[in-house]
Every structure is written in structure tokens, then in C-alpha cells.
Amino acid sequence: MPGGRLGLGGLAVLLVLSLVFKQNFFALLGGGDASGPDVATGPVQASAEEEQLKTFIGTVLDDVQATWDGVLPEQTGTAYQHARLVLFRDAIESACGFAESATGPFYCPGDHKVYLDLGFYQELDQRFGAPGDFAQAYVLAHEIGHHIQLLLGTESTVRRLQSSRPAQANQLSVEFELQADCYAGVWGSSASKRGELSTGDVEEGLGAAAAVGDDRIQRMSTGRVSPENFTHGSAEQRAAWFQRGLSTGRLSACDTFAGQ
């Protein structure tokens, strides 16, 4: 427990123990409660297993946001404002409209909230072949990366450019998403320096980034790859930008829009 904080590997152990013994071992931490101010649940009754997953996700969210509390003002001079996480199952209404589980995790700039279906992590493991606690953490950190883009004004700039340059809308979307991957890596770099990562965590994160590349998803869905329809980037691009954030720990290294 470096610095009095439990690493992601330790959190994974607590999650397994909680599921096996049907007790909330996260209570031993004295924090990370998923009922806290940054985490809300949609209008569903969660199962016992989902309750433990909620606590795990809430603990990771606490770490991600605590990291940005320091990193964002230090590197950009912009104060960090906490986002909120909304956990749901099947479908939910957000300030960005109605969303179903098929939409996948998303950040809504209209209400500064990350929306995450409770069944997504099972799909990440079984459908996309990206298991592990750090793979789960990467997904959440990527969505918080979109919140960082909102706070820095990148989100509004990209939306304006997409409106004025419709032919470049998809390419701008790819660059926008890759930057969020890089920002997720910046958080991962901080977690690594604090001794919170276990052996294999970085590989899990890189595997998750690659697993949700447009080329892999298109090939799974249609059997062919259409780069002109990419909106998030290829598996290689997503893993590379996540790695760049991990390696540098600097937001300035995440300029995916160079040349625009």
C-alpha cells in the first residue's frame, strides 16, 4: 500500500474477495464509496456483484480525479472541476439524449457526466478480449479525458471545426478520441509513479485500447475495414497514443491535432 493507498492490483483482489464471500471488502479502505458525490446510479436495482463492481469503479474514479486535481493546474494553469459518473443498465436519458447499452461508455459535455453501462466490462472481457482491472480503469480514464478536453476548450473547438469542415468531421473525431486515450495514459503515468500499478497492468491497458480500435470493431461486425469511416482510430493508433501519455506524463505530448 504505497503512500497509504491501495494499488489497482490490490483493488482487484478486494473485488474478487467481495464476490466470493458476498461481503464488501472495500469497506476496509474507508473510502471510495460508490454512493459518494461523484457517482450516481440510474433507475435500476443492481445485483450484489454489480454493487461490488460499482464500489471498485468508484475507487478508481476517485484516483483519476484526484490525479487531475493536481496535474491539470500544474501543467496547464486550469483548475480541475470534478465530473460525475452515472452507472446504468440497458438504457438511460442524459443531457446528450437517450442512450442504450449498445452505445458504450460515453461522456456528455451537456451535464459533465460519464455514462457507463454496468454490463460493459463483461463485454470488454468476453467480446473484445480485454480482461483485467487496469483495462477497466483505462475505459473510465478515457472518458474523463473527454472531460479534460471540455475544461481546456478543445471540445468546443472540435465541434466548431466539424461544423465548418464536414468533410473532415470523421478525421477530427479520430484525433479527438486519440487525445482522450493519451490523457488516459497521463493518468496511468501518475499512477505508475505512485507505485499503484501491478505487473501486467500496462499491458492490460494497452490491450484494452487496441481492443476497441475501429478496425477491430469493424472487422468483428462486418468482416471488412473501412478507414474512411473511422471515428476513434485504429487499434495501433489507440494503443500508441495511450502509450505516449504513459511514457511522458505530459498533456503537451498529446497534441493529436498537429497540422490541423
The answer to the question of residue 3 being in a domain is no
**Are 91 and 99 a contacting pair, CB within 8 Å?**
yes
d(CA 111, CA 104): 17
The answer to the question of residue 133 being in a domain is yes
Q: Answer whether residue 69 shows pLDDT above 60.
A: yes
- Give 244's pLDDT tier (boundaries 50, 70, 90): very high
pLDDT of residue 172: 96
pLDDT of residue 27: 44
Structurally, the chain folds into a number of domains equal to 1
The answer to the question of residue 1 being in a domain is no
Q: Answer whether residue 251 shows pLDDT above 50.
A: yes
- Give 127's pLDDT tier (boundaries 50, 70, 90): confident
- Give 13's pLDDT tier (boundaries 50, 70, 90): low
The answer to the question of residue 259 being in a domain is no
Amino acid (1-letter code) at residue 167: A
**Averaged pLDDT, 27-49:** 57
Give the side-chain half-sphere CA count within 13 A for 80.
Answer: 20
Task: Decide which of 3 and 243 is more confident.
Answer: 243
Q: Answer whether residue 45 shows pLDDT above 50.
A: yes
Task: Decide which of 98 and 46 is more confident.
Answer: 98
d(CA 61, CA 144): 9
The answer to the question of residue 104 being in a domain is yes
**Averaged pLDDT, 40-44:** 60
Positive or negative torsion for Cα 17, 23, 28, 33: positive
The answer to the question of residue 93 being in a domain is yes
Task: Decide which of 101 and 253 is more confident.
Answer: 253
d(CA 109, CA 88): 18
DSSP string, 79-119: PP---EEEEESSEEEETTEEEEGGG-SEEETTTTEEEEETT
Helices (H) and strands (E) in the chain, counts: 9, 6
**Averaged pLDDT, 171-180:** 96
Query: Residue 135 belongs to what domain range?
Result: 8-253
- Give 4's pLDDT tier (boundaries 50, 70, 90): very low
Q: Answer whether residue 92 shows pLDDT above 90.
A: no
Q: Answer whether residue 101 shows pLDDT above 70.
A: yes
Task: Decide which of 2 and 143 is more confident.
Answer: 143
The answer to the question of residue 117 being in a domain is yes
The answer to the question of residue 222 being in a domain is yes
Pairing of strands 113-117, 84-88: parallel
pLDDT of residue 28: 43
